[in-house]
Amino acid sequence: MSSLVAAAAAAGGAAVADLLAAVEQSCCGAPVGLLASGHAAHAALCALLWSASEGRFGAAVLAGVYVCPRLRDLETGRAPAAPAAASHLVDALPALRSPLLLLHGAEDTASPVSHARMVHHAACGAGGAPRLLT
């Protein structure tokens, strides 16, 4: 297990650690692309950020991404509690180096399009050139 995978696992990101470990085992160090939706898109975004400095991913296409499960559940009426403080994912987006395409249904009821817009806005502000299609 690499130090990157160990760090992801220690931070509570089991899905992210699994994704990074699979990439390490199968890709012989070459950058790979990511295609994911829903919860997998959330994990893929985390993996992109965890490995931003290593250039592990060549590009990503994420559909139905959300930045914070508690905020998503609050916005969709699945959780009555107040959301946590600003998502660490949005705060970490300036480190993103991989090209990013975000796909999100404007009427998505499982994951509000506002999350994709947050990711897009933060990545644009970081000097990236992500694309958002809704």
Secondary structure E strands in 4-84: 32-37, 57-63
| pLDDT for res 83 | 44
Selected residue with higher pLDDT from 45 and 76: 45
* H/E element, 90: helix 88-92
pLDDT of 67-110, one tens digit each? 776 666 666 666 555 445 445 677 777 777 788 899 999 888 88
pLDDT band at 132; cut points 50, 70, 90: very high
Residue type, 48: L
pTM of the entire structure?
A: 0.75
DSSP 48-59: HHHTGGGT-EEE
Selected residue with higher pLDDT from 105 and 52: 105
